[in-house]
Amino acid sequence: MSTEAQKPVRRITVPQLAARKGGDPIVSLTSYHAHTAAIVDKHADFILVGDSLGMVMHGMETTVGVPLDLMIMHGRAVVRGTRRALIVVDMPFGTYEESPNMAFRNAAKIMKETGCGAVKLEGGARMAETIHFLVERGIPVMAHTGLTPQSSHVMGGFKTQGRDDETWPAHEEDARAVSEAGAFAVVLEGMVEPLAAKITKQIDIPTIGIGASVECDGQILVLEDMLGLNARPPKFVKVYGDLLNQIETAVESYADDVRARKFPTDDQIYR
């Protein structure tokens, strides 16, 4: 007989997450490494290995240059570091837009090589056929509409969506299309509150907001932004930590100690 403590931890599944529509808010953060993912795992329902890692970790200007292999490497690390949360890995730009077949090949590669539970891709109505194709073939898809960073060159930057009422029908149609195509949830990024609220009421799958108000069914933030590691976080980010200053102070203290021959001390060396 196994005791409570011995029971294997079960990962949150895609149907469990989808069933949270209209229920308790869904908690999510990004993570790109095994060690931060292990911490986030205790508190989040799903962890996104976002292609924002290109900008956050690799100093890229946009997410457009992120290669598939990089997503797979970070995805694998996050799966290794976690036991509980559903892990979703972003499909990077250029790996899914061309055709449903191409999307399937790359999504299957991500799932096989990382062990993640789902993939995320950007785009609304124009991606509906691909989403349907993937879901029919066993790949759970989280959609991402509103501000879609991979299209920032077309959009003219990272702009809040829905400020002009005339654009609302297109955004509503995007969310409806991905929901009907079989996506199990949709990220609404950078969207005015009344539009996010309207979409959340209109569709059957959970909406996950990032800069899209509390009206969504859940929230996601980039971990480094909320930890205070980004000197210029987006306006919508609530910063819960002060990591930038803490790291700065720690590194400075270490450098001072080394220069003053205060490190390593006697009890820190092998004899």
Binding region for ligand KIV (CB under 6 A) = 30, 48, 50-52, 90, 144, 187, 189, 210, 220, 222
**Which one, 240 or 254, has the nearer CB to ligand KIV?**
240
Give the residue from 204, 222, 240 showing the smallest Cα distance to 52.
Answer: 222
**Which one, 144 or 176, has the nearer CB to ligand KIV?**
144
**Which one, 216 or 270, has the nearer CB to ligand KIV?**
216
Residue whose CB is nearest to ligand KIV in the complex, by number: 50
Phi–psi pair at 51, nearest 5 degrees: -75, -5
d(CA 77, CA 73): 7
**Nearest distance from C-beta of residue 24 to ligand KIV, angstroms:** 20
d(CA 49, CA 119): 9
The set of residues, in sequence order, having a beta carbon less than 8 Å from that of 255 and lying 6+ positions away, is none
Set 189, 193, 224, 252: catalytic member:
189
In the chain, what are the helix, strand and coil shares in percent, each to the nearest 5? 45, 15, 40
Give the residue from 115, 112, 114, 62 showing the smallest Cα distance to 92.
Answer: 62
- Does residue 189 carry a catalytic annotation? yes
**Nearest distance from C-beta of residue 225 to ligand KIV, angstroms:** 9
**Nearest distance from C-beta of residue 218 to ligand KIV, angstroms:** 11
**Which one, 192 or 208, has the nearer CB to ligand KIV?**
208
Phi–psi pair at 96, nearest 5 degrees: -150, -15
**Nearest distance from C-beta of residue 141 to ligand KIV, angstroms:** 14
d(CA 183, CA 144): 10
Q: Residue holding tokens 């907001």?
A: 209
**Nearest distance from C-beta of residue 214 to ligand KIV, angstroms:** 16
- Alpha carbon 88 to its chain centroid, in Å, reads 7
**Which one, 143 or 192, has the nearer CB to ligand KIV?**
143
Q: Active-site residues: which are they? A: 189
